Amino acid sequence: MVKIDTIELGDFPLLLAPMEDVSDPPFRALCKEQGADVVYTEFISSEGLIRDAAKSVMKLDIYEKERPVGIQIFGANLESMLRSVEIVEASKPDIIDINFGCPVKKVVSKGAGAGILKDIDLMVSLTKAMVEHTSLPITVKTRLGWDEETIKIVEVAERLQDVGCKAIAIHGRTRKQMYKGAADWAPIAAVKNNPRMHIPVFGNGDVNTPERAKEMRDSFGLDGAMIGRASIGNPWFFREVQHYLKTGKKLLNPTMSERIEAARRHLQMAIDWKGEKLGVFETRRHYTNYFKGIPHFKEYRMKMVTSDDSIDVFNVIDEVALKFKDYQFD
């Protein structure tokens, strides 16, 4: 049984990765329904939170049906991070996660996200201070290192554990790699195999098929898989992986009716949460994957991703449901 502090998560939990403009409440709800064991919010700026920035505060919204749910924050200033912890606590998440892995320039340039991989002492001291500032479990998401010459993830993970971190998720690339090349899970396995490690070690990066998730479990011995890009527009990925891990057999692809229902629900939940304009805009990235593989679909996809009015998008979804109702996904 894998546990984050006292939270029991099963034998090999699947975690929805925090993804900006993706891991919002509507998408988290869909992933949870399809088998995600833990879901995380989009990453939230500590500076935005303490300044009461509307976009940052909105990301604190969590719902009972999502639990266990983690709120992820990022920053490099101790005072700001501690004040953020107090603000986050008011939302009553199950977990507070620290982002020490985001490779995006605007985050890294402020010493936050993967930028902190240049200063491991600061990374450890920030984690220690946050652990001491809350009764909620603190977890960390990070990368192998800044570049190939600075991969010290075994030492880093051990130090984070020693100051009270309750779990660590590691993306198998360096900051320099961004998302290029293949994720290397061997250093993550080395963290897990360190006899001093007793907290869960989750793997992240290129978990894009059920077979890869099984490989992460069986060949690399990790405690669970954090799934990001493979789930965009495909919340059923969690269901497929869970089934494969249990039976060794592949599930059939989601049916057209399942995809139509998910697209409709996703859009409606997004509008209910964010309002018409943002809800329509931020759901667009999912449609390509919801309807991936359908021949001669470009006309409908273009309407979905260019329409600014939700009524128009719902009408296109209805058209798709009618025209392609008999389409069978391979």
| 102 among known catalytic residues | yes
pTM: 0.92
Task: Give the N- to C-terminal CA distance of the chain in Å, as an integer.
Answer: 35
Which is catalytic among the residues 4, 31, 38, 102?
A: 102
What single-letter DSSP state applies at residue 169? E
CA distances from 277 to 54, 281, 308 (A): 16, 6, 7
Residue-range domains of the chain with CATH? 3-247 (3.20.20.70), 256-323 (1.10.1200.80)
Q: Residue 245's closest CA among 268, 271, 273, 213?
A: 213
Instruction: Walk along the chain (330 residues) and give the pLDDT tens digit of each residue.
Output: 999 999 999 999 999 999 988 899 999 999 999 999 999 999 998 888 888 887 788 889 998 999 999 999 988 888 999 999 999 999 999 999 999 877 778 788 777 887 888 889 999 999 999 999 999 999 999 999 888 888 999 999 999 999 999 999 999 998 988 888 899 999 999 999 999 999 999 999 999 999 999 999 999 999 999 999 999 989 999 999 999 999 999 998 899 999 999 999 999 999 999 899 999 998 998 898 899 889 889 999 999 999 999 999 999 999 999 999 888 887
Burial 219-253 (b: 16+ CB within 10 A, else e): ebebbbbbbbbbbbbbbbbbbbbbebbeeeeeeeb
DSSP for 46-99, please give it: HHHHHTT-HHHHHTT---GGG-SEEEEEE-S-HHHHHHHHHHHHTT--SEEEEE
